Amino acid sequence: MKERIVVVDDERIILELTSMILASKGYEVLTAENALEGLALIARHSPSVVLLDYMMPRMDGMTALRKIRQEFPDSYVIMFTGKGSEEIAVELMKAGASDYILKPFNNQDLVDRIENALRLRRIEMHNRDLRQEREKLLREVEEWNLELERRVEEKTLDLELAHAEIVQSEKLAALGHLSAGMAHEIRNPLNSISLFAQVLRGNGITNEERASYADKILTEVDRVDAILIKLLAASKSPHVELSAVDVASLLHRLLDELAPQLQMRHIETRISCAENLAPIQADPDEVAQIFSNLLVNAIYEMADGGILTVDLCATDSGLQIVVKDTGQGIPAEHLNKIFDPFFTTKEKGTGFGLSVVLRIVKTYGGQISVNSPPNQGAAFTVLLPVV
């Protein structure tokens, strides 16, 4: 592809001479008789080199040079001048000229100067392209680093969550061994206590005090046995028959059963159930355990009244259950322990309730999380897949 050169001079003989010389060397030559026409040519054709006369009417060469360097920096400028003073040469070079040629000029000298300017231009353009490519690559590397950091952070979070689940599963497995051993060791003496108590009551003993003792023995037996049942429930997943469970209906039934406690504690309920919720395939008793534990815990936290909020809605992955109270909330140092078996802050709590909820939710491939800002209550969110 031919290099394009624009020649701007008010002397027609110069235009004709330079056009003839440069065309014979294979250059494409465009000419203009004044600076304004020359600027228009440069704007349209983007020449590699401009030969520009220093002295011209309407707009002098120095003014035109500054405009070209400002508006068309890719076009290199060689100045023609009839004044060969060192002062003018310095001024031209400071203004951005690549070179200058004194009139009258030697034909070969003109060609040599243009070839030098073109060579310099090619080198500088190549260097500029390399700098731009370097900047582009640096930006890409920075973007890759940011993406890598994002992915590492994402995978780290996934690993932390997976590790937490593994730890929780190990705790539940350990609890299974412990509970099985405890059940075996404790139930034998419990059976003996129960039999003796029944004998005391069945022999026609009329002493009210002894009968009262017998009643207390039976009560304690039932209480210890209930603890063991809860312990076993937290450690294993029983074989159950799955059926379609209408979660909204089950929720309202449980709230009706808890109505006396809610009224006694002056707790306001706000229930929101989305319409046409799809049933889930589960064991009704286990789903009831999820609700029962979460609702009872919420009621316990609002001894002096408050608001109990329950929200049921469908998501892309299944059914979302949110149970929220306006109690004191869960201290930050306890948030990582609340699903641990045996962990409780209640005076008479067993610490099995939430571990049972976790076991049931995980059995159905769901998720459970808790959000508890300081002194703003607690909100438990359960996600159960709809099959």
Q: Which two tokens stand for residue 286?
A: 């286990």
Statement to judge: residues 349 and 300 lie in one domain: yes
Statement to judge: residues 343 and 291 lie in one domain: yes
What mean pLDDT is predicted for residues 304-313? 91
pLDDT of 65 over the 80 cut: yes
Is 145 inside a domain boundary?
no
Query: For the domain that residue 51 is a member of, what is the CATH number?
Result: 3.40.50.2300
Statement to judge: residues 248 and 381 lie in one domain: yes
Statement to judge: residues 209 and 265 lie in one domain: no
pLDDT of 234 over the 60 cut: no
Domain boundary among 49, 71, 105: 105
Query: For the domain that residue 216 is a member of, what is the CATH number?
Result: 1.10.287
Interval 112-144: pLDDT, tens: 989 998 999 889 888 988 998 999 999 999 999
For the full predicted model, state whether its pTM sits above 0.75: no
Interval 251-281: pLDDT, tens: 888 888 888 888 888 899 999 888 888 888 8
- Count the residues in the chain: 387
Largest CA distance in the chain: 144
Residue 195 structural domain? 177-235
Query: For the domain that residue 295 is a member of, what is the CATH number?
Result: 3.30.565.10
Distance CA 199, CA 13 (A): 138
Q: Which two tokens stand for residue 330?
A: 């869960």
Q: Which two tokens stand for residue 188?
A: 């034998």
Statement to judge: residues 200 and 249 lie in one domain: no
Is 121 inside a domain boundary?
no
Count of the separate structural domains present in the chain: 3
Is 231 inside a domain boundary?
yes
Instruction: Please name the residues in contact with 341: beta carbons below 8 A apart, sequence gap of 6 or more.
Output: 171, 172, 175, 231, 234, 235, 351, 352, 355
Distance CA 227, CA 183 (A): 10
Domain boundary among 53, 78, 105: 105
Higher confidence at residue 165 or residue 177? Answer: 165
Phi, psi dihedral angles at 13 (to 5 degrees): -60, -35
Statement to judge: residues 274 and 219 lie in one domain: no
Is 353 inside a domain boundary?
yes
Q: What is the mean pLDDT of the chain?
A: 82
Statement to judge: residues 287 and 231 lie in one domain: no
Is 301 inside a domain boundary?
yes
Statement to judge: residues 207 and 310 lie in one domain: no
Statement to judge: residues 202 and 316 lie in one domain: no
Q: What is the pLDDT of residue 58?
A: 82
Statement to judge: residues 252 and 380 lie in one domain: yes
Statement to judge: residues 260 and 336 lie in one domain: yes
Residue (of 21, 43, 44, 18) closest to 31 by Cα position: 18
Classify residue 347 as exposed, middle or buried by CB count within 10 Å of its CB (0-12, 13-18, 19+): exposed
pLDDT-derived band at 289, boundaries 50, 70, 90:
confident
Is 164 inside a domain boundary?
no
Higher confidence at residue 165 or residue 40? Answer: 40
Distance CA 188, CA 54 (A): 116
Statement to judge: residues 287 and 375 lie in one domain: yes
Is 117 inside a domain boundary?
no
Is 159 inside a domain boundary?
no
